[in-house]
Structure 1
Amino acid sequence: MIGEVDILGVFIPALLWMMLIAYVISLAVRKVLSHTRFYQYVWHRSIFDLGLYVIVLGIVVSLTHR
């Protein structure tokens, strides 16, 4: 999946779709971590969430380019 995706004549970058998928996955992972009270051991939650999103985005990009 490289380049753009054509939806009714509008070209949308493939990276945007990957970012949206990674965001949805990271929301689910954050919800699970919140329910298991994992965040009480994390020093700075927002930095941890950003790192989690970047890791998930890297996984999604690597899986789509294989």
Structure 2
Amino acid sequence: MGLREWALGGVLLSPFLIYVVLAMALTVVVRLLLRLTPLGRWIWHEALFDFALFICVLTLVTLELGPR
């Protein structure tokens, strides 16, 4: 998937938006899996952990799907 803008109703949208939505979905899945395991008990500050997890997942998605 190349990084090119696409138009939606005359509004130009960045392809990074797709990466953010995909990373958010993957973060929700990982977070639900962590809640089902005993590892979820070791999370001290949930909001900070969720944000850091999202940034890590977004980085991985961008590295994998971004231009080579």
Tell me the TM-score normalized by structure 2: 0.83
User: 2:27 and 2:5 mapped to 1: Cα distance?
Assistant: 24
Structure 1 residue 37 displacement after superposition? 3.1
Q: Does 1:53 align with 2:48?
A: no
Alpha-carbon RMSD across the aligned residues, in angstroms, is 1.5
Counterpart code for 2:57: V
Relative contact order, higher structure (CA 8 A, sep 6+)? 2
Matched residue count: 66
Residue of structure 2 in register with 1:38 after alignment: 39
Tell me the TM-score normalized by structure 1: 0.85
Give per-residue Cα distances to partners, 1:5-61, cap 9 Å, x unaligned: 344654321011100000000000000001113221111111011100000000000
Structure 2: runs of 5+ lacking an equivalent: none
Residue of structure 2 in register with 1:13 after alignment: 14
